[in-house]
Amino acid sequence: MSATEPDRNAQRYSDPLSCGCSSCRDRILFGKPFDGGKRMDHGVPQQQHPMEQQQQPYHPQHPAMMRLYEVQKQVESLGPQVCTFSGMQSDRDYKRLERELTRLLLDVDQVDTEGKPELQGARKRAAQEVEGLLRYLEENATHPSRLAIEELSDKARQLIDERVVVPQRSGGVTEIGDDLVDTLQELVLRLTQVKTEGRVPLRKARYRALTRLCAVQDVLEGRTQQQTLSLPLSGETHESVNRINQVMVKVSVARSQLVALLMGLSGRDSCAHLSRILTEMQVELDALDVSGNAAIRNYRKQVVEEINGLLKHLDLEGEGEDTRRYDLAQNNSIREIEAVRAHVSHLREGVLRHCYMGDLSFRPKAELQSLLTHLDQVDTAKNPCIREARRRAVVEVQAIVTFLDLREALVCRQTGPSEHPSHRSVWLVLGSLSDLQAQVLGFDGKRADKSYMMLEELLTKQLLALDAVDPQGDESTKMARKQAVKFAQNILNYLDMKTDEWEY
């Protein structure tokens, strides 16, 4: 996936006019029109052919040309905003950008070219530039992936509103259980599966949605842990305890307000306002005299840590503006995972090559285990996309390990006259599954390919064959069939993972 930065996109619009000379302005005004973001999503625009840069004779001080230059300057200013806008059509910024671009289009249309071809060409290209920005703005705001991100965000908002925000505002008790946390985790995983096609606005929208939802998860999980403590303490223990207890009540309210802010469910409140309230609580706690009582000091410390945990989530106003955050191709953990995947790919090729030659001596299991250990040590920074990337890398390693284990078991297996016929049938299916797994490991196509459909069909047939095996009461056969079914399902899942075109 290409790494595209907003400042590089902005360079597409700002640099040619920075010097102010007419030759630089002409290259933009008479250059290629905006191409729907294709050049932007790949960084610096491509160089034009010399013939395309050749200007037609015209007077640079002509009123029509001067007006077109003014329009071009405004396009240069709006271009970066359009190319990084990640909202919906209902957003205020979308309506503003659409309104300003439409106004520019009308201004271009009103330019009087006096029937001169060179002026008509300049006006046409200026109009195409503005139209391209309008098209790019609309395409990203209405893209199916953007709508999917918004749908999942709406589900999360509705869930948080019903289970957390409304009970708190009505003075009731907010019940936060494992079911709520698990549902939020499922929504996070579904967000990580949304494809962005490498588009900056879509990557940005997905990152912002994930950031807020993960922050809500962190806040709620922290509260669940807090509920297990034997707090608050009795007011009779120390004169400062009553004041700490009062702060605890305020913290509980602030927690619900923070969740509402993160999910866009707060009306008048702002992150800055809530930050001031939490800071005042810290000052109030810091002023308490709890010297000489270790229990009270620990109590105050826990409340302060709770406040600090809320404050760290209040810096999300500008989250997602830094490309290094939502473009994970620049992330060090992702680079580390990709390096492991490249090593795994090399080992997989070696295993399959020796397997096809009938040589089972190449068994890099120790090396594969060290790669699993390496992946386990990768810092995901609680980023669900990085966690998913690491999980997939782990699955790739485990697929090779299980393939080698089954091959070894098939070679070492010794049959005897006392073996149950049903048990022998299970092992025959396992032999077929091993051959199919080798094909799956080497598969590098798409779901629309005939080879994919063939592999899927053959694996399904093996599952049906296992389902038809009658253990006849034999416990070892029951166990072997159960493991074989799980093995076949894992191969199918691996094939599905290899072809789902997931991106971080």
Q: In the 8-state DSSP scheme, what is residue 173?
A: P
What is the model's pLDDT at position 232?
54
Closest to 156 measured CA to CA, from 267, 264, 270? 264
Host H or E run for residue 403: helix 384-412
Q: pTM of the entire structure?
A: 0.62
Buried b (16+ CB within 10 A) or exposed e, 171-206: eeebebeeebeeebeebbeebbebbbebbbbbbbbb
Q: In the 8-state DSSP scheme, what is residue 193?
A: T
What is the model's pLDDT at position 22?
41
The three-state secondary structure class of 424 is helix
> What contacts 15, CB < 8 A, 6 or more positions away?
none
DSSP string, 253-320: HHHHHHHHHHTT--SS--HHHHHHHHHHHHHHHHTS--TT-HHHHHHHHHHHHHHHHHHTTS--TTTT
CATH topology of domain 63-142: Methane Monooxygenase Hydroxylase; Chain G, domain 1 (1.20.58)
Region of residue 3 (phi > 0: left; psi between -120 and 50: alpha; otherwise: beta): beta
CB 2 within 8 A of CB 44: no
DSSP string, 48-114: PPHHHHPPPP--TT-HHHHHHHHHHHHHHHHHHHHHH--S-TTSHHHHHHHHHHHHHHHHHHT---T
What is the model's pLDDT at position 393?
94
Half-sphere exposure of 84 (CA within 13 A, CB side): 20
Token digits of residue 430 = 């396992």
Measured at the CA of 262, the angle between CA 261 and CA 265, to 5 degrees, comes to 50
CA–CA separation, 255 vs 158, rounded Å? 17
For residue 232, cis peptide bond before it (omega within 30 degrees of 0): yes
Helices (DSSP H) in 193-232: which residue ranges?
A: 200-226
Host H or E run for residue 493: helix 475-498
Pick among 1.20.1560.10, 1.10.287.610, 3.40.50.720, 1.20.58.120: CATH of 413-503: 1.20.58.120
Number of H helices, E strands in the chain: 20, 0
CB 422 within 8 A of CB 474: yes
What is the model's pLDDT at position 384?
77
Angle (deg, nearest 10), helices 384-412 and 200-226: 90
Token digits of residue 90 = 């209902």
What is the model's pLDDT at position 228?
37
Measured at the CA of 129, the angle between CA 125 and CA 131, to 5 degrees, comes to 110
Render each residue's pLDDT in the chain as its tens digit; 504 residues.
434 333 344 344 434 333 444 434 443 444 444 444 444 443 333 434 333 333 444 556 788 888 888 888 898 889 889 988 989 999 999 999 999 999 999 999 988 888 888 888 888 988 999 999 999 999 999 999 999 999 999 999 898 888 888 887 777 666 677 788 888 888 988 888 888 887 888 888 888 888 888 888 878 776 534 433 355 555 555 677 788 888 888 888 888 888 888 887 776 667 778 888 899 998 988 888 776 677 788 888 888 888 888 888 776 655 545 555 566 767 788 889 999 999 999 999 999 988 888 776 777 888 999 999 999 999 887 777 788 889 999 999 999 999 999 998 888 888 778 888 898 999 999 999 999 999 999 999 888 899 999 999 999 999 999 999 998 888 889 999 999 999 999 999 999 988 887 777
Q: Which residue has the tokens 């473009």?
A: 327
CB 503 within 8 A of CB 193: no
The three-state secondary structure class of 194 is coil
Q: Kindly report the CATH number that applies to the domain delimited by 328-379+386-412.
A: 1.20.58.120
Q: In the 8-state DSSP scheme, what is residue 175?
A: P
Closest to 140 measured CA to CA, from 44, 13, 41, 213? 41
CA–CA separation, 95 vs 116, rounded Å? 35
The count of other CB atoms within 10 Å of the CB of residue 340 is 20
Closest to 122 measured CA to CA, from 175, 68, 184? 68
Token digits of residue 450 = 């005939």
CA–CA separation, 156 vs 43, rounded Å? 34
Q: Report the sign of the C-alpha dihedral through residues 323, 326, 327, 328, in that order.
A: positive
Cα dist from 68 to 30, 79, 122, 319, whole Å? 11, 16, 8, 36
Domains 63-142 and 413-503 share a fold: yes
The three-state secondary structure class of 18 is helix
| Domain map (residue ranges) of the chain | 63-142, 145-320, 328-379+386-412, 413-503
